[in-house]
Each structure stands twice: as C-alpha cells, then as structure tokens.
Structure 1
Amino acid sequence: MTAPSTAPVPAPHQGEADEGWVRWPAEFVQRYQDAGYWGDQTLDGLLREWARRFGPATALVSGAERISYAALDEAVDDLSAGLASLGIGPGDHLVVHLPNRAEFVTVLFALMRLGAIGVMALPAHRRVEIEHFARLSGAVGYVVADRHGGFDYRELAREVVDAVPSVRHVLVAGDPGPGSGRGVFTGLAELAAAGRSARLAATSGAAGVGREPGDIALLLISGGTTGKPKLIPRTHRDYAYNARASAQVCGLTADDVYLVALPAAHNFPLACPGILGAFGVGATVVMASASSPDVVFDLIARERVTVTAAVPPLARLWVEAAGWEGPDTTSLRLVQVGGAKLDEGLAQRIPPTLGARVQQVFGMAEGLLNFTRLDDPDEIVFTSQGRPLAEADEIRVLDGSGRPVAPGQVGELWTRGPYTIRGYYRAAEHNTTVFGADGFFRTGDLVRQLPTGHLVVEGRVKDVINRGGENVSAGELEEHLLTHPAIALAAVVGLPDPDVGESVCAAVVPVAGGAVRLKEIKNYLRDRGLARFMLPDRLAVVGEFPYTAVGKIDKRELRRRLEQ
C-alpha cells in the first residue's frame, strides 16, 4: 500500500463525453495488468470457465431449485438468446429489480453475454429511484419479479414504462400478467424457453459478443449521499479482481456454502466475495428469500452454510434470536459484517453465539474494500473495520485543507486502486467534486489509521444517514418533505439508535396553522414513490431552526437539541 504525499485537487475529467464514464488512464491499465490484478476475461467468459471446471457441482440453490455450474451456463445461454430475440444487444441498459432468486443470477450473466448492462436496483427501491435509474441510464428494459414481500412489482413497472419513454420491455420473473401502456410484459421463463428452442434449431450455443474486459459489466447503485443515487460503473476486470481477491481473504474454497441473506444486487453479497467470489472457487451459493432469523437459521442448518454476510442490525437480530432459539449453526465458520460500523460489544457476541468467526468489512460500491483478516487478533477484529484488500490500494487521510493528518489522527479518507472507479456514470459535474485530477476518490468517510494499516471509521463528512446499512440522503429527503403543503422548513438528521445505528429524524417547521404527524408524512412520502428505508423514523415539530453564521441550518446544534 502506497500513500503519495501530493494532496488531491478536484479537477475536470476527460473522456466522459463519448461514453459517459471515466476509464483508467493507460499507465494504470498497464500497471494493474503487469501486477496481475487484472485478467483478460469478461465475467460471462469466466462463467464459461467455471462451468468447464466445476460442471456437475451445485452452483446455486434457490428454493427447491438446485442448479449445477453446467446447467447455469446453459440457462444463461438460453436467456441471452431470448433477450436477443427482443432486439436487446450490446450497450443496451436494463434496470434489474429482482429479489434473491435464481433469475437474478441468470439475468445478470445473460445481459453480460449479450454485451448489455444491468443497472442493479435493490428490492426496496420504488418509483422515484427506478424512474431515475431508467432515465439516467437510458434503459430499454425493466426486469422485475411478479410479487415479493407483499408488493406487486408489475404495478410499479406499469408506472415506469408510462413515465420513461426509453423503457420498451418489462421482463417478469413469474407471472407477467396483463401488460399496459407502451411496455411489453414478457415472462422470463417463456423468454428462456424460446431462446433455448432457437439455440437448438441453430445447433450452436450463444457465443456472446465482443465486449472487452475493460468495458462496463454492470452499474451498481451509490448510497445517494448527495442528491439522487449515482450509477457506479464496474468493469469486468476490476469486478472480477474484487470478487477473486475477496474470496482469497476469506479463505473461500469449493467446500464452502455461501448464503446470500442481504439483497443480491448489493455490492457486499454480490462480490465481496459474495456470489461471484463463491462461483470463482466452485463453492455453492444459497439464495435466502428473506433475512429473518427463521429463514436464515433453517437454511444454515439444511444447506450446511459456512459463510454469510450481514449488516450490523441484522447481525444483532440473528444473535438475539439465536440466544433463545438455539439454532444449528455448527457448519458456520465465518460471518462478515459490514455496511455500517459494527460496535465492539456486538462483535464480541457473534463468535460464542453463532459459533463462527466474525470479519469486519468496510467498503463501498465505488471500490475500496477493507477486511479484518482471519488471522488478526481478536482485539483488531472487534475494534477496527479492516485494512485494504490490495497492496495497490492507495490511502490518504487528509484534513479539511487537503493535508495529510498526523499518524493515528482522524481525517477524511481518499483512495484509488485497481478496483476503485475513476468517476460515476453520466455525472461529469459531480465527478469534479469527488475525484481528484490524479484519480483519487473522496469517500466522505472520516477515519483514523492504526499502525497495522487497519482503519477505524469515526464518522462521515457527507450529509447522509446510515440507517442499518442503507444510506439515506438527507438532502433528497428534505426536498420531498418541502413539497408538503403544511411544511415550511425541513431538516433531516440522524440520531443514535441501538437497533439500526442511526434513525432518520425529520425536523420540520410547519406553515402557520399547519399540522403534521409522522404517520401522515410517511404516507405522503410513500405516495410520492420513496423507498421504505427513506421514510423518517421520527418527526420533530419545531418553532425554528438554529443557524450558522453564514445562514445555513446548523445541523450539529439541531442534532444536539434533538438528542437532549
């Protein structure tokens, strides 16, 4: 790990105009290739290799389905042929909005095999976010489940196709139901069957297209720390390294069984090491339909799960439930916890309660990952958020003036490396504020670095609330609150919460004679299409806000008052 002394200075980026994203400069491409970080295969090409190496072994368990590596590769060929019959091809974008089920995996790889790009939406996202993703990416399609968690995604799809002209296809896992508006609703099973028939008639498998390893493989979703969520371009070669190196750090082998308990579209369970890292070593991936203790404990016992990942509130729920349920977790060897800072007390409870080692993971969908190592002493594992994954990860901890802080002091984390992006997708103006001219990414996280290289997270610079691993943009939520006719002023802050880390508190000044209540505000925001995790947990009605000397709402003072 190196740490150049020159402080990064935000500056305009080159190369965005034509493609909408920033590629690594040629000198870094050569550097990372020469050092062995980057390979020469696409992710769907790697799936072909895994099918050859691990053919009959079980790749994926989803409900009653048990799919071998060879069968998974064939299913991807079938679906890619079906997608091609709709005219979907290289460079097309589709918003993928699926829960944890087998179709998530086949859709992801089928799009890559065609050279198309999936935009990885999370199940909790709703109309506001989905329309934003579709418009920003110019999506031609939207992939959903019929129903999940009591929500009918087909109804949402009808709203999306009516609002976003580019969306021509709605692909449904399950019953497509009657279509409406401009969108053509097609069942994924029907599409795959048609694709298989076409492939057999042609007597050859889907060959894929000429995508390069340095091209975008998929677009992840940012936490929405400033305004609406950003799209994060992950290339085949950087994401392949991300998954492969994470699997090595976790000691993953073909004997492991990885449980996807978090939403599969999230970077953590997808590639840290997640689904991709497990496939790379021939392990088995088990999809959990829900993350509740009853579902998770049943799968751990039945499938002999060895590794899984959780956010701190979920880990706390599992630990507390295990204390009185007494589940069979004897197969479990490693529980990764990330997405938010894990408190020391909970970290200490996981090993004796679940019978597994705990691993702290601090990272971001934009790239940099930090892991505590399997041979780290307990003191480090319980109190730090890990050290960088790669030797080539470059770390700077800077003060507000862009100067390095003294060793062990708190500062803002900047980073660049072989799997950290150089810019968000189609966000040239925003990129000038968070990426330095030398490629360093300004994370907005406040950290201090231990002599061992491990990082301890101390907070954030960005105006974002980490609610149980979900990032809630205070600014975006405030914009929605201010559209309510009874609200004159609004400020959103995070307050300490023992269950979710930070609760979302909406402080509002009502208009004269206006009355606002939490339940009514939640219903209003839900009707505007906000995701459930964006809704405030608390409502504070105040007469006025404290202000700074320059006339801005003083959120630090407001938070102090609300905590009292």
Structure 2
Amino acid sequence: MSTGFESHLDDLTAGFVPFPADRADEYRRLGYWMDRPLDSILTDAAATWPDRTAVTDPNVSYTFAELLKRADGVAAALRQRGIATGDRLLLQLPNTCQFAVALFGALRAGAVPVMCLPGHRAAELSHFAGVSGAVGLIVADTIAGFDYRQLAQELVDAHPGLRHVFVDGDPGPFESWSALADLDAPAAEREPVDPNLPALLLVSGGTTGLPKLIARTHNDYLYNAVACAQACELSGDDVYLVALPAGHNFPLACPGLLGSMTVGATTVFTTDPSPESAFALIDRYKITVTGLVNALAKVWTQACEWEPVLPTSLRLVQVGGSRMTPEEARYIRDGLTPGLSQIFGMAEGMLNFTRLGDPIDVVVNTQGRPMSPHDEMRVVDEAGAEVAPGEEGELLVRGPYTLNGYYRADEANARSFSPDGFYRTGDRVRIFADGPRAGYVEVTGRIKDVIHRGGETVSASDLEEHLFAHPAIYAAAAVALPDEYLGEKICAAVVFSAAPITLAELNQFLDERGVSAHARPDVLAAMPTLPKTAVGKVDKKKVVAQLASG
C-alpha cells in the first residue's frame, strides 16, 4: 500500500552492510537497541524539557522546543523541494546552532546527512558525493577566507545529481539556508523509520586512499549517544562545549551534542577553540564537559599558566585522537582538570575510555575500557591468531554500535573485516589481563600507514598519490614527525626530478587539487634517495631516522 511519500530507501540500502540478524536480535533483547529513530532524541527532549536551552552559540540560542520547531520547518521545506526519504545530503557547516538545526531538519525529513568537516575540500567532497549519491549540499558562505560557494559550484558541475545547494549566509547563485531555516512551516508528516537502516553517514579518518563513509544506523547510533552519556555520568545540570568540528563522531555522539540532549544538558558551540576564547565561554556558560584532541588539551593546559580567566567549572575533559604518554596525561590532569578521561575510539564504532573515579594509575597509563558490556575485542598477531592475554597485537572489534562494513566499499570491506564480522582497526594494542588495569586497553602503535595530526587521521598513501602528481617530484614518502602540540606533523620527504619547490608552492599545488587543509605537509624535506626495504618498498622508519639525524 502506498504511504503517499516518495522514498529512495532501495537506493539507500544499495551498498549498505546491515547487522546480522542474530546479533541484532540479541542487542534488542539486552535493551541496547530501542527501535526508535535517531531524531527521537530531540522529540523526547522537547517533550520533557521544552523550555530548557538546548543549543547556544555566540549569536543565538534555542530551547529544545524551539529547536524541534525549526527542525520540523526545515524538514517540511526539504520535502517541498523534492528531497525524499533515504536521500543523502552533504552537511558541511561550522560549529553553530545552525548545524543542529540542519542535522535534525534532515533527519526529520527522512534524509541521511553525510557528516562532512569544514576542512574537507573538492577531492573529499566530490568523493563523498559520488559514493553516497547525494542530492543536496548544506554549506556556509565563507570561513576564514575560503569560499564554499565556489566549491559548491565545482561539485554541482561534476555531479548533476547534486540538485540542491543551501548556503548559510550570502547564498550567491544558490538557495539561502537562512530563508529555509526561518520558515514557519508546519511539521512535515513522515514515513515510519526503519531503525536498522542508516541514520547518517560519518567519514572515516582515512587509512588507505580517500576517506570512506560509515553508515551508522538509528539503533546503533542512538545507543552510542545514550550509553556514552551514562558512562560519562552526564546530567541535566551539565553544559557541553563543542570545541572540535561538530561533524566528528567525538563531539557529535561520544557523548557530544546527541548524548547531552538525551539527559537535557545544554550544548554550546564555538568556532574558536583557542584558550582565550574557549575559557571565556566556559566561564560565561559554566561549561562542565568537553572533548579535546591531545594537542589542544596541552595548549589549554599551558594557557592556564597565564590566562586571566580559568576553566574552573570543567569537571570532565575527554582527550582522544592520538595516544597520550603518561607524562602528558599527568600534565593535563594536574594543570587543566583532575576530571581527565582518556578516550580511544573511532567513527567506525568501538569506544574505550577511562571513567571518573578510576585510579590515577589507570587514567594516565591506559586508553580506557570498552563502553559496552557487549563490545567484543580480539588481539591478534600477523597471522590472525589470538595472542596470549596481555600481549601486543592488532585490535579487532565488533559490537552493538560498530559497523559491519563501509558504505559502498566492497574492496575496503574485504580487507577491513574478518570472516566472522570483526573490524580490523589497524591499531596495535595490549589489553591488560590482571591487576587494577585488567580489561583496560593500552594503544602501543599502529598497523595502518596513517599520520595522526592534531586529532585528524591522514592517509599517507593518499597524500603520496597527490605528491607524485607534481611534475617536480620523482619519489615521495609521507611520514610522521613528532610534534609537541600536534602530536605528529606531516613531513613530505621527496626526491626532486627538476628544480626544487618550496613548501608553500607544494601546498598551493595540493590546495588546487582539493586536498584538505589538515592533510597538507607541515614540513618538506628534500632527499637524494629514499631508503628501501629488502622487498623494494620505501623504508619509512629509515626515512624518519635520517631526517632526525640531520
């Protein structure tokens, strides 16, 4: 029987890898999965705390009831423009309340947001548009001098299916997001949501090639947000600061915006995470919880020595994105807040973090324990055999909120998943077998060739492909160099085939190729040759050693 709504669910499910039925039934039986749409977070909050502030930024605030009304108005407007259930929309907005309006507006319309980051450029966005089959794009006009309208025009020219572009600010040739979001339209009636299907698509950190898309279902992502909020002991008295890009899994649902909403807590957005700006916001709104990458946490801690306004209301700061040394953890814990929580997780799902009340030894020396009792972890050697308890190996995981396959990425899935559905994380870990650290994870290294720069995961192989395209470069290796603030900085070690170029010239070239700002080299090192392994591959350990020695 017809529902009266246009639906593109068949297209949405093409290339989506669902949870196996037996595991899905078990997660329901255990009460982890509630068979509700992800946006029920907002409808529940609006019904329970209608007049409580839901989101705020330096320019505007919305109560939960106001946010729901605006989201419903956006949903109705999107429907009027022909955006159907299951359609994908690229969402690339900065950290403002409009991000929340757009996210929930898309969800309320039955659309599936693709959570792009402000730093993504043409190479990544064109890839996301092509893989997802997106029909629309929501962007700002300009940020820090970069014109997203020009980028949008390039995408529309390359992808005819990208029919709708909404711009927050001066729309130029496109449609005004402000006009859309300000419409006082009645709520759009919606189709029933299948909670087993994708609610949104997150972006992978990128380990080989361009970032992959991660389909998070209504069931698994709602559980992710609720369980994270519980594990972090969030309550309606908390105020959460989104200091990292809001489209990241970390500030979105770990617990982030979504987890905060499940308990009626207020979320504050900022586009300026510098200590001076962030500390003023923390003082103004009495912010209690936030999530930071290691590099930013160290900058905040250092700034506590001289900033006149200190972040004294913070009770919990989650730090992740790259492994902290015990010395770094102690420094942040002693200088910023005793409520430090290390978090080791991934947009693919699996989350580990230390808890409030854990012994100091555990907080500073581990990256936490699994969020869910039904997170399954294996540590295996190079042959795929499980190692002895407490020994190092690659971490494989599955569970009630970990993906079962990347979206429309068969080749990557063949590499990234075991036959019985465990996700190969590419991280080297040990899981402590006894003592006070029993069950906690220590990250000891990585298997995949990636660089962790300021909380972003950059694929070395993808950057190398761009480097090889430059006519002056004969050979290249992208390697990580230690950095006090970024954790790791990106070094392009190259052999020139023509007159050498400067770092600025190289990054201008990469900018023209649409490479994300965070994935461009910090250092350009000219080498006469690149050392090789016995099988003829570039020996990156020797590259780093040679650079370090002189």
Q: Is the TM-score greater than 0.5? A: yes
State the alpha-carbon separation in 2 of the partners of residues 319 and 265 from structure 1.
25
Equivalent in the alignment of 1:309: 291
Distance in 2 between the 1:389 and 1:215 partners?
23
- Which residue in the other structure is 2:181 paired with? 192
**Cα contact 1:16–1:428 (8 A) shared by 2:** no
Distance 2:13 2:122 in 1: 29
Q: Distance in 2 between matches of 1:479 and 1:426?
A: 22
Partner of 1:33: 28
Q: 1:58 to 1:424 in 2, by over 3 A?
A: same
- For the residues of structure 2 that align with 1:461 and 1:144, how far apart are their CA atoms? 35
What stretches of structure 1 of length at least 5 have no aligned partner? Answer: 1-14, 180-184, 200-204
**C-alpha distance in 2 between matches for 1:144 and 1:294:** 27
Which residue number in structure 2 is paired with residue 202 of structure 1? Answer: none
Give per-residue Cα distances to partners, 1:175-208, cap 9 Å, x unaligned.
Answer: 212x1xxxxx1112212344x24x2xxxxx3332
Deviation at 1:152, TM superposition (A): 1.9
The corresponding residue for 1:103 is 98
For 1:372-521, what aligned pairs fall within 5 Å after superposition? 372-451=354-433, 452-511=438-497, 513-521=498-506
Assess if the C-alpha contact under 8 Å between 1:261 and 1:308 holds in 2: yes
* In 2, Cα distance between equivalents of 1:343 and 1:384: 9
Q: Which runs of 4+ in 1 moved over 3 A?
A: 15-18
- C-alpha change, 1:361 and 1:219, in structure 2 (3 Å) is same
> Whole-Å Cα distance in 2 between the matches of residues 17 and 213 of structure 1?
13
1:263 aligns with 2:248: no
User: Partner of 2:305: helix, strand, or coil?
Assistant: helix
User: Deviation at 1:18?
Assistant: 5.7
Given residue 546 of structure 1, which amino acid in structure 2 is its aligned partner? P
Question: Which residue of 2 is the match for residue 93 of structure 1?
Answer: 88
> Among 273, 281, 287, which residue is 2:255 paired with?
273
> What's the offset of the Cα at 1:132?
0.9
- What amino acid is aligned across from residue 489 of structure 2 in structure 1? S
Q: Distance in 2 between matches of 1:523 and 1:429?
A: 32
Equivalent of residue 536 in structure 1, options 503, 507, 521: 521
Question: Which structure is higher in RCO with an 8 Å CA cutoff and minimum separation 6?
Answer: 1
Provide the rounded CA distance (Å) in 1 between the counterparts of 2:360 and 2:454.
24
Give secondary structure in 2 for the equivalent of 1:502: strand
CA distance in 2 between partners of 1:556 and 1:289 (Å): 37
Correspondent of 2:511 among 522, 526, 542 = 526
- The 1-side partners of 2:180 and 2:500 are apart by 52
Give aligned pairs, total.
536
The 1-side partners of 2:287 and 2:209 are apart by: 39
Deviations 1:385-433 (A, max 9, x none): 0000011000001100111112222100000000000000000121011
Q: Deviations over 1:471-521 (max 9, x none)?
A: 11111111111111111111111112222111111111111x432222211
State the SS of the aligned residue for 1:291: coil
Contact 1:16 1:22 in 2 (8 A): no
Q: Residue 254 of structure 1 corresponds to which residue in structure 2? A: 236
Aligned partners of 1:490, 1:532: CA distance in 2, in Å? 19
Percent of aligned pairs sharing the same letter = 50
Cα distance between partner residues in 1 of 2:149 and 2:372: 42
**Structure 2 unaligned blocks of 5 or more:** 1-9
SS in 1 for 2:75: helix
**1:223 corresponding residue in structure 2:** 205
Partner residue, 1:364: 346
Q: Separation in 2 of the partners of 1:294 and 1:371?
A: 28
Kept after mapping to 1: 8 A contact 2:316/2:341: yes
Q: 1:325 to 1:46 in 2, by over 3 A?
A: closer
Q: What TM-score results when the alignment is normalised by the length of structure 2?
A: 0.95
RMSD in angstroms over aligned alpha carbons?
A: 1.5
Q: Kindly provide the amino acid, as one letter, of the partner of residue 135 in structure 2.
A: V
**Residue 147 (structure 2) pairs with residue 147 (structure 1):** no
Q: 1:200-349 residue pairs with structure 2 within 5 A? A: 205-349=187-331
